[in-house]
Structure formats: structure tokens, C-alpha cells
Amino acid sequence: MTTSHTTAPHKTADLQAPVLPPLPAAGSQVGRYHVEEVHDLPEMQGTLVLLRHENGARHAHVQREDDNLAFGVTFPTVPQDSSGVAHILEHNVLMGSQKYPVADPFFTMIPRSLSTFMNAMTAADWTTYPFSTRNRADFFNLLSVYLDATFFPLLRRESFLQDGWRLEFETPDDPTSPLKLGGVVYNEMKGAMATPGSVLYRAFGKALYPDLTYANNSGGTPADIPSLSYEGMKAFHAAHYHPSNAYFYSYGNVALEEVLDVIEREVMSRFSAQELDVSVPDQPAFSAPRREEVAYAGSDLERGSQVVVGWKLGYSADPRENLRWSVLSDVLLGNSAAPLTQPLIDSGLGTALADVGGYRDSYREGAFAAGLKGLPLEQTDAVEALVLDTLRQIAEEGLDQELIESSLHGFELGSREVSNAGFPYGLGVMFGLVGPWMNGGHPANALRLEPELERLRADLKAGPVFEPMLRELLDSPHRVTLTLTPDPELAAKTEADEAEQVAQMGAALDDAGRERILADSAALAQWQAQEPDSTVLPSLGLDDVTRQLPRPDYAEERTGAALLGRIPQPTGGLTYLDVQTRLPELSAAQVEALGLYAGALTQSGAGERDYLALARRTEAVTGGIGASIGVGHAPDSLEHVRLSLTLSGKALERNGAALTELMRDLLAEPRFTEARLRQLLDQRYAALKNSVVSAGNAYAERLAAAQVSRAGALQETMSGLTSLERLKGLTGKGSDLSGLLGTFAQITQALPHGEALLALTATPHGVDLDVSGLGQVFAAGGHTAQPGAALLDRQPQARVTDSPVSFNAVAWETVPFSHPDSPALLVLTRLLRSEYLLGEIREKGGAYGAGASLDSRAGVLTMSSYRDPQLDRTFEVFAGVPAFLSSGRIKSSHLTEAVLGASKTLDPLTSPDTVGRMRFFGDHAGFTVEVKEAYLARLLTVTLDDVNRVAATYLTPERAAYATVTGKAPTQDSGFDWAVQEI
């Protein structure tokens, strides 16, 4: 059977000559900009233009046939202390500017825009403000807002108090009540410094570059944050946010002259050149290797330590040095069979590679590091010796040429891949070029990998390249062995130190000081209570929403018992294969084991190969193969859920057959062994345990949803905190894995009896690949079954872990996707987030984040807080939704914004690798383009009455389920009967 899906109109996959605006020539002048260089970028079919303004501003423009336009402005920022000045400034910059004097133009713009990315980020030595969007008007709206925010921010004292730090009385207008410290960044960093990975990362920069800006915590160390004054923040802005210190970037199918015109008019015309010194000097070399130790707040003394051995290298902006270390690092550590990874893991000292490792080019002088985590205390000597001995042995015996070849193949594949999956490609390009650019390298280096790869290949033919680099590394005295240890007392000590700090600050206050605090609190409260007048900000209208979704072509046929979709796309010579197996009947034990099965599948052996051989083969011929478990839904029923296992792989077109063969082996003949499974379970446990404090909101939401939704209960079983508890029992010495291995074998046997869908995405040439080997895995008459899923008891659930902040959540089950109320519920979540939760929980409550979302397919609506210093208060905020909705605070402009924002979830950013398979799998799940367009059409007609009605119908207290992930067991004061478990 062959069906062709060629419904017009659709985005064509044929490669017509793109119509791009003309570019200026090198040496010419565009206004006050001098065009310094123009480079072809053949690998990405683009052109790079480098310009310099009279006042010193730099601009890089990458022109490509891509309608997802991108922009970023980046400033080198080199803080001299750990007060978090760069980070606090980053927050304040986004809180009102001369032209847009509203309290938070950034958050106000999010719902008024069709942006595909908006953010701001503070790294160790730079701060960047990037966005992307597929709408041209939106691009220029956002450009104006970003330029005004960064160059002409108001930097109000109130915004400093709110988002930086503040001292206030617990009852803000009562000077006899106790003092406390607050502020968004203050709380954000308390949360950030609670994860072992971020503590290790900061300590690593400090240990290796003790004399440079990297020794400081650019995000802010909570105890040091109060040393920053409001005036200090303003001075930092004046010194760093100047065109002479700015690196502008624009990308996509947009006219460069138009972009430059706007920048000239809005910014450049108001500045002259300024001398600045933001350069990072060389780190003076060590005369002998060092050891450093750092503690984090944690209680896992058996497996909570990490040891990392790190070296300083040469300049990361040097393209030759950069590529060589990138390749060498990949060869040594790139996969589980790699010659440094394998001995580290097989030593059994720890469970996984340390959170800092490999080649790191984010420092001006790069770094290389390797180590282990999941260690008991006092393993420093053993890990250091193991790393050094292994490297010494590799340097003596030489690296396997095949490994080097595999790695070079991976770099070739990476340089050709154009994908928006996970992150917009146009901004990925910016992050690739801006690092070397700011450090004095050429921005084109990162975009033109192939000439440098050719040079490396030639050097490798002439003689050993990597072994001498390793010998030089081993001889270098600029080495640090860094040990990270858990300290069960640290949280209490930090809290006592904070109390002491507050007490000292209080003791130092005179009457005038106390008056100042009262006045600050009053000013802040007044400012927060202001009705925001956002009419000055530009906005899109509902007319800008695309009503027609992409309809990429595919042709369908049977291969064996599987249904195959052949999807031609301009993939740049890559082939993508997805095999989705909808699972037949499984026992409860099998369902519980599915997440572990998928996690272990591609990391074990298959067919003739053990896990090492499989890892080597995967690296040599593919760009990676991954497995995941999905919970599928029906558009018209919440009762119908199904489970699927999806295996996804990609390869260069010439390796399509090899990819197919590997995926066949993985599905039909996986080889799990007890020794390997033990390693993988230990790694998974460590990774999940760490993720609790960085993604606690997702865990809390899942725990709440599991009380009301079948899909939610399945997710909780497979990937929630329940699965973490189960995993804990399977790890550690002497645990019995025979039962799990038996369950894995049953799953392998059951798989071919499911229903299989294959999606093959490739160029019009590569799409003819023979994948019949995959089709033959599946038995005729395959079918999908409904998995059993017992709901969790409906009782507020609290999970207590090492965390100074809380993650609070509430969930409701609502309606299926095609129910007429679903679009109104989606709009409701947008309104709750932007008009209610952010103000109440982030601005007033001091949490880092708050949100509401609807999983429209699962029908689950959740609200949650992120890194939240409050618990009871936040649940009161959640309970206040009806009062908020009846307060009349929602204006029709808010509704328009909410609808605009909601439309984005129906038309997500795609790229050639994802757009076709989304349609193919959607068509076969009932979520056809027509069903989604009907949803979109209904969404565009949602009224405020609809929103109020669905809130009153579905978001009732009787239907709600609650959960929190927190540092201390909650009290029962709030009237909640918490079920508390330590994790």
C-alpha cells in the first residue's frame, strides 16, 4: 500500500534558489559601519559579514535561507567579586527602559510576541541577550525592546530591591519585627548553589584560574550578594554596556541594512567611542600541581563525592588548538567505550564521570578535566592516580586510529547538521562564534570547520598529533585535583551564617537606617502594586498567527509488519530514522521497568557486539542513537492511553545501511549483562538524584498529576520520584538484578508484538534507503494495549530532600484535546502565569519562577513554583485563582496576548529533521494537521467568558491534587494533611 500525502499548501522540500537580500561588499561603508570582511559559509549555505562601527561596536551578520530570524547583543563582563553584579544587572536591565518604562518589559513582551526564543544569560565573563522569531514584524519589535533595555535601562532602585537583594522587616511596615534578606537573584543563587554540579563548576574555575575573573561567582554567592550596592550596579552598567564593548549578532533571511539602520537610530546615534578594558589577562602558571577541596550541602556520604583532575591549556580562541582539543577530548571521553571513560567507570571507584569534564573552551585559556562522581569520601588519591596513569598509558601506547577516525566523522556530521531541535540553530551559531570572537579569535573559525579538519587530517598522516599533546599535558605543573564533598551540616551552617549576617546588619542600623528600610519596603510595595501600562510596548495581533500548519510531504508503505513513512527533506546530507513501537500488554513490573529499559538499551550490547563494541560502532557510523518511552493519548478521550518505545538515530547518508542494521540489532537482540546494568543503574540514580534539586518543579507536578490522571500516574511510575525510590533499591553493592534482567528479557520478547511505525527523513536521494531489516523485526498482527495505571492516593504529597528552597505544585485533570474547552484552558494557563502567578510568587514571594501549563494531550493542567522560599503562602496563592479571576483584572489586551502565546504551542519551531516525522506520527495518532488546525481556529475565538467558565468548571478545590519537593517537612498549619517522605 502506498499513499501519498501531498495536500497543498505546504512548505516545499525542493531546493529552489533562495531569494536573499543583497549584501554589501568587503571594504564598503554602510552608514557609519565599515564592512571589514565577507565570508562564504559553504557548510551551512550561508554568508558571514563582519562590520565595525565608528564607535567601535562590532557586528556579525549570518545570512541564510532560514525564516527563524535571530539577534543577540553580548557584552564582555568581568566582575571583580562574587556579589553577583553582572547577574543582578542582567535582571535589572530587563525591568524597564527609557522608551519602554514598564516594570518588566521582558516578561510583558513574551506573550505579545511569537518569539521562538527569548532570554538573557550571565556567564563567567560575558552577558548576552538573545532572541529569535519567525515573524518579521516581531523581529523588529523585539529588536527595539532589547536595544532599549540593554543600552538605556532605567535601573530603578525598586527593581534592584526586588530582583537583586533587600533587607526588610518580616512584617514590612513593622520595624519591631525581625529582619530578613530577600530578592529574586538572592534566592535564585541559594537554589543554584544547592546542586553539586554548580558548586563543582564554580570551584573548578576558581581552582584553575585563581587570579582571574573566573575565580568569582558571576551569578553571585548568597553571602556576598549584600555587599553589592545599588550604585555599584549602575556603575557596572555604565562601564560595560557601551557600544564600544558590544558584540552584535543578526541571523537569517533579513536585510542587514535594515537591522543596522535600527541599531544606528536607536543606539549608535546616542554614543561616542569609549575606552574600556575588559580584557582577561593570562593566568600566571603554577609551579607545581595543586589540590583543592570544596563542600556542598548534602548528606550522601557514601556516594556524594566527586574528584576531578583539571589542567589549564592554551588559548581557546586559537582554531587549531581548539579543534585538536575538541577531538582529543571526544576520543578520550566521548562514549562509554572511550579509552579514558572505560577504565574510570570500570574501576568501580565511582558511578559516573564527574559533572565537570572534557575540553572546556569557555575560558580564555581552555581547560581539560576528567574525574568521577558517586564516590565515597577520601578517594582523591585513587582517582587522581587513575586519571594520570591512564593518560600516561594512552600517551605511551598511542591512540587507536579507528577511534580518531570515528571522532572526526562525528565532527563532520555535526558541522553539517542544521536542526532547531532543542535550541534554535541561528542562536547556536551565535554561541559558537561569540566565544572565540570576544577572546580575540576570528568569528568565522567556529563556522568553517572543514578546512581546519582537513589540516588536522593531513597532520595526522604526517605523524602522531595527540600523543605529544598528552605528554605535554602530563608534564604541565598547572594542574588541580579538586575534591567535592557533601557536608550534612552545611545547610544548617549556611542558615546560621545568614542569620548572623542579618543580625550584624541589623545591629549596624541606626534610626535613619531603619527608616530607609521602611521607606524601601513601602516604595517596593507601591511599585509592585502599580497597574502596569504596557501600551507603550509593541505587540503583534491575532492576525499575525499562522492559521495553516506545515504539511510536509511523505509517502507511506508497509515494510514487513511495520508502517513506513518516507519523508524527503533538505537535511544537509543526514539521514534520520525513528522507530516507534506502540507496546502490547505488559505486566505492572514490566511497565515499571520501561524507563530503565530504554535508558539501558543503547548503552548495552546488541547482536554480535558487547557494549564496548556497540559504543565504538555507534560512534563510528552514526551521530548517535537514543531510546525513549512515550505516553500516547487519543484526541477525544483521556481514558485511552498507550505506551510506546521510540528508537531514534541519525547518520550521514552514506552510513544509512549501517544505522539501520544497528537499530535492528538493538530492537531484536539487545544484550543486557548484570555488570553493565549495574553501572548504568548507578549512573542513572546519580543523575536523577541531582536533577531533583534542579528540576524539582517537574517532579512536584508529576507527583500531583499522578493523583488525578492515568497518564500522570504512568509518568510518575516510569520517571517520577516513585521511580527514583525504586531505583535506589536496585543500586549499591549486592543488590539483586536478576529479577530486573528477567523483566528486560520479557520486554524484548513483547516488543515485536506491538504496532510499529517507522519514519525515515532524508534528502530526496537518501530517502530511498532500504529499511526492510527493521520491518522484519515485527510480527504480523501487532497490536497496542492499554496499560494499567493505578492513581496515587489523593493526599497532598511532600518529598523532603537536600534543598534550601521548595518546588510547589497543584494539578487538575481537565478534558481531552478535541474537547471544545481545551483551548480556553490553554489560554487560562497563559493568563494565570503572566497576570497572576509571576507577580504573586516571583515578585512578591521571592521565588525564581512560577508558571501554569496545560498538557493539552494528557488533559492535565498544573501550576507550580520554582526555587521558592515559600511553601504555605504559595499554596494560598494557588487557591486564590477564583478570587483573581473575579477581580476583573484581566483586560481584553491580556486575552489577546494569551491567545497569541498559546498559538505557539500548536505551531512549534521545527526544522527539516523534525517537521516530517511530527506530521507522520501525528497523523497516525489522530493528531492530524486538520485536528490541530481546528484547535487553533477555536483558540482564536476564545472569550473571557469561556476562560472564566472553564476555570469555574475544572479548577475546583475538590478536583485538585497537591505536591511539594522541599527541604523541610511542611507543617500542617495550612490545613493540608501532608503525606511526608524523605528522599
Binding residues for Zn ion (CB under 5 A): 188
CB of 113 to Zn ion, least distance (A): 20
Dist CA 610 CA 603 (whole Å):
10
Give the helix ranges, DSSP H, for 398-489. 401-416, 425-438, 449-462, 466-475
Q: Which is nearer to Zn ion, 188 or 556 (CB)?
A: 188
Q: 26, 37 in Cβ contact below 8 A?
A: yes
Q: Which is nearer to Zn ion, 807 or 884 (CB)?
A: 807
Q: Which is nearer to Zn ion, 164 or 243 (CB)?
A: 164
Residue 756 amino acid letter = A
Quickly list DSSP for 584-620.
----HHHHHHHHHHHHHHTTSEETTB-HHHHHHHHHH
3-state SS class at 623: coil
CB of 124 to Zn ion, least distance (A): 14
Dist CA 759 CA 566 (whole Å):
6
Q: Which is nearer to Zn ion, 424 or 849 (CB)?
A: 849
Q: 692, 756 in Cβ contact below 8 A?
A: no
Q: Which long-range contacts (CB under 8 A, 24 or more apart) does 521-524 make?
A: 521/166, 521/168, 521/169, 521/172, 521/173, 522/172, 522/173, 523/157, 523/158, 523/161, 524/158, 524/161, 524/162, 524/166
CB of 121 to Zn ion, least distance (A): 9
CB of 194 to Zn ion, least distance (A): 15
CB of 821 to Zn ion, least distance (A): 36
CB of 840 to Zn ion, least distance (A): 19
Q: Which is nearer to Zn ion, 188 or 592 (CB)?
A: 188
CB of 868 to Zn ion, least distance (A): 15
Dist CA 464 CA 4 (whole Å):
53
Degrees to nearest 5, angle at CA 188 with 183 and 190: 100
CB of 119 to Zn ion, least distance (A): 10
Which phi and psi angles does 227 have, rounded to 5°? Answer: -80, -10
Q: Which is nearer to Zn ion, 73 or 367 (CB)?
A: 73
Q: 225, 77 in Cβ contact below 8 A?
A: no
Q: Which is nearer to Zn ion, 158 or 188 (CB)?
A: 188
Q: Which is nearer to Zn ion, 188 or 318 (CB)?
A: 188
- Find all residues with CB under 8 Å of 864, minimum gap 6, and list them: 697, 700, 701, 807, 808, 809, 810, 850, 851, 852
Tell me if the bond preceding 488 is cis, omega within 30° of 0. Answer: no
CB of 198 to Zn ion, least distance (A): 13
Dist CA 959 CA 904 (whole Å):
28
Which cell numbers hold the place of 897? 496576548
CB of 91 to Zn ion, least distance (A): 6
Q: Quick one: which H or E segment has residue 363?
A: none
Q: For residues 253-266, b (16+ Cβ closer than 10 Å) or e, as one string?
A: bbbbeebbeebbeb
CB of 128 to Zn ion, least distance (A): 13
- Find all residues with CB under 8 Å of 441, minimum gap 6, and list them: 315, 316, 317, 318, 319
CB of 90 to Zn ion, least distance (A): 7
CB of 185 to Zn ion, least distance (A): 6
Q: Which is nearer to Zn ion, 188 or 384 (CB)?
A: 188
Residue 111 amino acid letter = P
CB of 877 to Zn ion, least distance (A): 21
Dist CA 568 CA 912 (whole Å):
9
Dist CA 701 CA 716 (whole Å):
10
Q: Which is nearer to Zn ion, 188 or 868 (CB)?
A: 188
Q: Distance from CA of residue 632 to its chain's centroid?
A: 24
The residue among 614, 649, 505 whose CA lies nearest residue 181 is 505
Q: For residues 871-887, b (16+ Cβ closer than 10 Å) or e, as one string?
A: bbbbbebbeebeebbee
Q: Which is nearer to Zn ion, 96 or 752 (CB)?
A: 96
Q: Which is nearer to Zn ion, 796 or 845 (CB)?
A: 845
Give the length of the chain. 983
Q: Which is nearer to Zn ion, 754 or 846 (CB)?
A: 846
Report the C-alpha dihedral over residues 855, 696, 94, 190, rounded to 10 degrees: 170
DSSP state for residue 971 in the 8-state scheme: P
Q: Which is nearer to Zn ion, 222 or 599 (CB)?
A: 222
The residue among 566, 779, 770 whose CA lies nearest residue 668 is 779
Q: Which is nearer to Zn ion, 104 or 188 (CB)?
A: 188
Dist CA 196 CA 24 (whole Å):
49
CB of 88 to Zn ion, least distance (A): 8
Q: Which residues pair with 798 in a beta bridge?
A: 964, 980
CB-nearest residue to Zn ion: 188
> Which H, E and C letters describe 538-572, residue by residue?
CCCCHHHCCCCCCCCCEEEEEECCEEEEEEECCCC
Q: Which is nearer to Zn ion, 125 or 188 (CB)?
A: 188
The residue among 770, 747, 750, 764 whose CA lies nearest residue 560 is 770
* Residue 786, number of CB atoms within 10 A of its CB: 12
Which phi and psi angles does 30 have, rounded to 5°? Answer: -120, 100
CB of 84 to Zn ion, least distance (A): 9
> For the chain, what is the radius of gyration of the CA atoms?
28
Q: Which is nearer to Zn ion, 191 or 424 (CB)?
A: 191
Q: Which is nearer to Zn ion, 188 or 653 (CB)?
A: 188
CB of 867 to Zn ion, least distance (A): 10
Pairing of the two strands 554-559 and 365-375: unpaired
Dist CA 829 CA 701 (whole Å):
14
> Which H, E and C letters describe 134-150, residue by residue?
CCHHHHHHHHHHHHHHH
CB of 845 to Zn ion, least distance (A): 16
